[in-house]
Amino acid sequence: MFCNKINSLVFLLFPVIVLNSCGSKLQHQTETSALKEFPVLTVEVKNTSLYSDYPASIQGVQNIEIRPKVDGFIEKIYVDEGASVQKGQVLFKINAPQYEQEMRTAAAAIKSAEAEVGTARMQVEKVIPLVKEEIVSSYELETAKFILQTKEAALVQAKASLVNAHINIGYTTILSPVDGVIGGIPYKTGSLVTGSSLLPLTTVSAIKEVYAYFSVNEKQFLLFSETHAGITLEDKLQKLAPVSLILPTGVKYKEKGRVTTVNGLINTETGAVSFRATFPNALGIIRSGGSAIVRMQQEIPNALLVPQKATYEMQGKRFVYKLDEKNTANSTAIEVVEGVPGDFFVVQNGLKAGDRIVASGIANLKDGIKIKATTTSLQ
């Protein structure tokens, strides 16, 4: 009888236990399905490259202003703006008739001086025997010799004037001092030009190599000094990896360059330090006066990378949402290498390899919220 009552009780309780068990599973499934789904990234150590971009101005290795050394009118222009020229090529012809007249005058002065020298020499030769025969005193001979020296000096001066006239005539033909590219030509044929004219006739830019000038702030300069190999600054520059040039079109210039010099002074107005990179430009693609971006690259071994979209900033600090073993998102402060363009940050402090973080969509997260994790990886 007692056993029958127990069996009846067990029979009655069994459905309740089954119902409670099913209800618990159903509730868990409902809670799980209600959790928001987020991509989750496991932080890994990887070798990576960091690059920094700096606006730069382009200058030819030589930018030579072409100015006339004599006054006159432009008779002929032999080149056009933007033309490539060779050293010694004729650029301009200046009409300066006054120098042609000076040359004719100097030539005539030479003939006159030569005649006077001849007359003075004859006088010396005439006096010499008279002195020997004591017909005239030696004073007469010395006087004749002094006159001859004076006439010879006048001849030398006349010849020098002719040389100067020839030089001035030579200045009327203006040649290119280097291989390069012609800049603007503000004057036209017939224009009066002088050595003191405000504008040069043109500018010849030697651009087989070009300089890219860029600046970094004082903090970046100190980081450069601390993080790059080498003892002295010159040693660091020699060991620095080649740099790239990003053209205004956004295309990377195919030739690599090198940072060759650093200004010895910090600009007191801007707090910046000026660098100069040199790039080959045999085809003349890059022109003096242009702009570009210098990209410096640095290899970093064993770096912890996180997507920039996985971080947010608050009160000057940067945070990520790190997950615990129960997939609860916890706001965690991190330190990263600042000022690096691209889609990723290099983490210096706050995370370690193996930590899991929410990779994106963090605008919809709050600290302490449990999520449904979906595994993702760095792209």
DSSP 8-state secondary structure symbol assigned to residue 253: P
User: Do residues 190 and 77 share a domain?
Assistant: yes
pLDDT at 124: 85
CATH at 165: 1.10.287.470
Helical packing angle, 97-132 and 138-171, nearest 10°: 160
Q: Which residue has the tokens 């040039």?
A: 245
Greatest CA span in the chain, whole angstroms? 187
Whether 279 is covered by a domain: the verdict is yes
Q: Do both 215 and 140 map to the same domain?
A: no
Are the CB atoms for 305 and 347 separated by under 8 Å?
yes
**What CA–CA distance (Å, rounded) separates 340 from 269?**
25
Digit-by-digit pLDDT tens for the chain (379 residues) are 444 544 544 444 444 444 454 455 544 444 455 788 999 999 988 887 777 889 999 998 888 999 999 899 999 999 999 899 999 999 999 998 888 888 889 899 999 989 998 998 898 888 888 878 877 788 888 888 899 899 899 999 989 988 988 888 889 999 999 999 999 999 999 999 988 888 999 999 988 999 999 998 888 788 777 767 778 888 888 888 899 999 999 999 999 999 999 987 888 888 899 999 999 998 888 988 899 999 988 777 788 889 899 999 998 899 999 999 999 999 999 998 765 666 888 898 999 999 999 999 998 888 899 999 999 887 6
Residue 3 lies in a domain: no
For residues 181 and 281, give the distance between their C-alpha atoms in angstroms, rounded to a whole number.
12
| 372-376 and 37-42 beta bridge pairing | parallel
Query: Do the beta carbons of residue 340 and residue 51 sit within 8 Å?
Result: yes
Do 159 and 180 share a domain, yes or no? Answer: no
Q: Are residue 215 and residue 294 in the same domain, yes or no?
A: yes
**Alpha helices for the chain (secondary structure H):** 2-34, 97-132, 138-171, 218-227, 233-239
25 falls within a domain: no
Of 259, 281, 300, which residue sits at a domain end? 300
322 shares its domain with 223: no
Last residue in a domain, options 171, 190, 215 = 171
Query: Tokens for 53?
Result: 């971009």
Name residues whose C-beta falls within 8 Å of residue 247's C-beta, 6 or more positions apart in sequence. Answer: 253, 286, 292
How far, in Å, CA of 301 to CA of 49, rounded? 8
Query: What pLDDT sits at residue 18?
Result: 45
CA distance 48 to 261: 27
**Residue 85: how many CA atoms within 13 Å on its side-chain side?**
27
CA distances from 266 to 25, 57, 215, 260, 269 (A): 69, 18, 10, 17, 9
The whole domain housing 84 covers: 68-91+175-199
pLDDT at 340: 63
Phi-psi region of 230 (alpha: psi -120 to 50; beta: other; left: phi over 0): left
**pLDDT at residue 341, rounded to an integer:** 62
3-state secondary structure of 289: coil
Of 300, 317, 339, the domain-final residue:
300
Same domain, 218 and 295: yes
| 20 is a domain residue | no
The verdict on 121 and 158 lying in the same domain is yes
Query: Strand pairing partners for 180?
Result: 85
167 and 180 in a single domain? The answer is no
Residue 186 burial (10 A CB sphere; 0-12, 13-18, 19+): middle
Query: Would you say the pTM of this structure is higher than 0.75?
Result: no
Same domain, 147 and 115: yes
Within a domain: residue 30? no
> Is 249 inside a domain boundary?
yes
Q: In this structure, is residue 27 part of a structural domain?
A: no
26 belongs to a structural domain: no
Say if residue 293 is in the same domain as residue 349: no
Domain check: are 142 and 180 in the same one? no
Query: Quick one: 267 and 212 in the same domain?
Result: yes
Domain tally for the chain?
Answer: 4
Rounded Cα distance, 205 and 62, in Å? 6
- The CATH number covering residue 293 comes to 2.40.30.170
Nearest C-alpha neighbor of 245 from the set 275, 272, 212, 274: 212
pLDDT at 12: 46
